[in-house]
Amino acid sequence: MAFVRVLFALVSVGCMAIACSGAPSLDVNGSEETGIPGDDEGAGAEVGTEGFDGTVGEEQGDAEIEGGEEIEEIEEIEEIEEIEEDGFETEETGEETGFDGAPAELIVSEIFYNPLTLTDPDGEWFEITNIGKRSIPLNELVVVTAGGGGLVQGLGLLMPGASAVITRSAYPSATPFALLPDGILPSMALPDTGGHIQLWLEGVLLDIAQYIPGLGTPPVKGAAIQLAPDQFSASKNNNPHHWCVATVPYAPQEHGTPGAWNPACAEVGETGGESGEGAESGGEESGEESGEVMEPPPSDTPTVPIWFGGGLVITEVLYNPAAVTDEQGEWFEVANTSLTDVDVRGLTIADPVGSHLIEAPSPLWLKSGEIAVFAKSGNPQENGGVYPLVVYGGVSLNNTGDALILRDGPIVLDEVTWNLQSGLPPLEGGSMALDLDAWDVDENDDLGQWCASNAAFGAGDYGSPGEPNGYCAGTGTGPVGAIDGLVITEIMVDPAAVSDAKGEWFELHNPSNAPLYINGLVIEDSGGQHVISGGKPLEIAPGGHVVLARSESAATNGGLDPLYVYSGVSLNNNGDHLAIRLGSDVIDIVDYAIDPGIPIEKGRSMQLSPTVQPLPTLNDSSTAWCLSSVPYGAGDQGTPGVANPPCGAP
């Protein structure tokens, strides 16, 4: 069992010489800093000693695996199938950082190490796949290959179920048949004699994929090796028998499915089929030893693999457009978070009162990791500027609440239900968008994961049709922002120039350096509350001040220009509190009933002193407040919508 010890040393010994608790120090030529020697693409490269157990300069014991040497003592190779390791502990901390406990589920799913039409290593590439339920930011992904490694350039956010292709060069002339990569690793090299690929993110080792031509898969030229779709796991892609030769051509004389799902592997024996039999018996030379390179088998129609950790997810809904009519402008968005390209023909779109069967003369493919729009009109000049994959009828979304269902026959694939009591603001001219971290058929049932879109598109409505959504600040709120920093800085409790019912107002300040959106927040006093709604995002610019008032008209509200008009909250002149909440969480509260020292005078606003740092915790004391003395509008005093002057200033 010498080979078993060598091949699986990385997951059996506990940790590598490269510290598991931190990303490796990388040298583009694979210097000793990485613990992985450099490689000259097959010129006697040592695979056995270059890091199967991560020990630099030590003998591997019973076996070394070198290019062209015979692999000994693998009579019991079938035991590899029984080896599964979910994780390992770091030597220094003992903290669980194993594959199942890693912060991101990212694996190597396809390796093209020996191109036919281009020389190594320019034509080489490999594919990584997000097999989890969360999107993964890959801007800090570090990859170590047998021939070198470093920080991958050009990668961004990888959706659940999506794949990315990494090559040495960004230029089509230097990649196989104008294969345009998602990421660039100029120092990568994949030896033809065997090697490995390590994925590191934020100091955590997510995956190690190893390949040895002649074991599990035959040595090939002009074809990738692909991980079987039912073996998509960081613990299973270490087994060479879970890989097979690509049979689908993506260019003349080159085979693979870069960036797309892998087809199912043909049935093989535990020893890997024909190539494994020769290795097991020891009586036949492998193709590698004899110098013969096997051509990939004829291409067959790929079998759709199982769905892994994903499905079709409704991620955005525009049920009440403003730029065009509902009949023309309603649409919703679906993301394919599975590892399977899906032909959506035959699926049904439904709500409680209508349905539409998707039919088309040719396939309507929603590829793995992609997003598509389903709309009531296919004309961008009429539908507000969207370009749908599917045009439907028979379903009209109710603006006050509805259920949107996507099903396959009687099987519900996904369903989203909303109403005005759900915490979501009523939206006119803006979509409700699913938080990017909740793209899952179960998680999108929680309306706390939805928020109002803040990006304009097409004819002027708000949404991101066909593009990834942003992140939501919290339950039923607007788009992402450090909403906890919002501060009440001025309150007009008792106007004199106009009535309280018309002239009450208060001011909110955003002290952060990012926009804040107040859609979905709750205004509250001792007698009532109001949920902030609106058909468009209600933004407070960085460092900005905005006014929320009881009346919109400057002619009747005392001369105000409010961002938002509310109702249901009437401030008591003799003592009350004013609070801003996000769900049940209080963002800021000013209680002038508990602290009678906070000044109140008819016709003058109470303002937070500019000498007080604008934090929700520092505006609770009466000493932080004073009366405004700056006239505005119809004659009352205050500074609505602008920074407060020093207390006592004329």
pLDDT tens-digit readout, 322-357: 999 999 999 999 988 877 788 899 999 999 899 999
For 185-199, write each residue's pLDDT tens digit: 988 888 888 888 999
331 with 435, same domain: the answer is: yes
Residue 639 lies in a domain: no
8 Cβ contact list (under 8 Å, min separation 6): 80, 83, 85, 238
Distance CA 553, CA 411 (A): 52
Whether residues 592 and 501 share a domain: the answer is yes
Q: Using one digit for the tens of pLDDT, what is the confidence trace for 471-498?
A: 675 433 333 333 557 899 999 999 999 9
Q: How many angstroms separate the CA atoms of 464 and 453, rounded?
A: 7
pLDDT at 210: 83
How far is CA 390 from each of CA 129, 348, 358, 366, 431, rounded to the nearest angstrom? Answer: 27, 11, 7, 10, 18
For residue 58, what pLDDT band results from cuts at 50, 70 and 90?
very low
Separation in Å, CA 289 to CA 75, 190, 244, 630: 19, 19, 20, 90
Q: Are residues 90 and 233 in the same domain?
A: yes
Q: What is the pLDDT of residue 104?
A: 78
Point out the least confidently predicted range of 289-293, 359-363, 368-372: 289-293
Whole-number Å distance between alpha carbons of 43 and 56:
20
Phi then psi for residue 77, to 5 deg, are -60, -25
- Band (584; pLDDT cuts 50, 70, 90): low
633 lies in some domain: no
Residue 43, pLDDT score = 31
In a domain, 90, yes or no: yes
* 558-586 average pLDDT score: 88
Q: Is the pLDDT of residue 84 over 70?
A: no
Share of the chain above pLDDT 70, in %: 69
Residue 226's pLDDT band (boundaries 50, 70, 90)?
Answer: very high
Are 166 and 259 contained in the same domain? yes
Q: In terms of domains, do 318 and 436 share one? A: yes
**Residues 49 and 181 reside in one and the same domain:** yes
Mean pLDDT value of segment 66-70: 37
Say whether pLDDT at 262 is over 50. yes
* Mean pLDDT to the nearest integer, 294-309: 36
Q: Which residue has the higher pLDDT, 482 or 390?
A: 390
**pLDDT tier, 569 (very low <50, low <70, confident <90, very high otherwise):** very high
* Residue 275 predicted with pLDDT over 50: no
In a domain, 471, yes or no: no
**In whole angstroms, how large is the CA radius of gyration of the chain?**
31
**Tens-place pLDDT, residues 142-161:** 998 877 888 999 898 888 88
| Mean pLDDT score, 633-650 | 88
Asked if 514 and 448 sit in the same domain, the reply is no
Over the stretch 532-548, which tens digit does the pLDDT of each residue have?
Answer: 876 566 788 888 999 99
Which CATH number belongs to the domain containing residue 512 in this structure?
2.60.40.1260
Over residues 396-416, mean pLDDT = 89
Give me the CATH number covering residue 342: 2.60.40
The contacts of residue 567 (CB under 8 Å, 6+ apart) are 530, 550
Give dist(CA 365, CA 345) in Å, integer: 9
Determine, yes or no, domain membership for 467: no
Contact 312, 336 (CB under 8 A): yes
Are residues 323 and 268 part of one domain? no
Q: What is the pLDDT of residue 550?
A: 95
Task: State percent of the chain over pLDDT 90.
Answer: 29
pLDDT digits (tens, 9 = 90+) for 511-521: 877 777 787 78
Structurally, the chain folds into a number of domains equal to 3
Sign of the four-CA dihedral 110, 112, 117, 119: positive
117 and 66 assigned to the same domain? yes
pLDDT at position 74 over 80: no
Q: Are residues 262 and 401 in the same domain?
A: no
The predicted structure's pLDDT at residue 536: 62
- Whether 300 maps to a domain, the answer reads no
> Does 258 fall in a domain?
yes
Which of the listed residues 233, 262, 278 is the one where a domain comes to its end? 278
Same domain (yes/no): 61, 208: yes
In this predicted structure, what is the pLDDT of residue 375?
96
pLDDT over 50 at 591, yes or no: yes
* 463 falls within a domain: no
The span from the CA of 618 to the CA of 290, in Å, is 79
Range of the domain at 210: 1-278
Distance CA 164, CA 198 (A): 15
170 and 112, same domain (yes or no) = yes
Rounded to the nearest integer, the mean pLDDT of the chain is 73
Taking only the tens place, the pLDDT of each residue in 18-34 is: 233 333 333 333 333 33
**Tally of CA atoms within 13 A in the half-sphere of 249 that contains its CB:** 12
Residue with more model confidence, 616 or 445: 445
What mean pLDDT comes out for the span 74-94?
A: 34
| Greatest Cα pair distance in the chain | 103
> What pLDDT score was predicted for residue 484?
56
CA trace torsion 297, 298, 302, 308 (10° rounding): 10
Q: What does the alpha-carbon distance between residue 547 and residue 504 come to, in Å, rounded to a whole number? A: 10
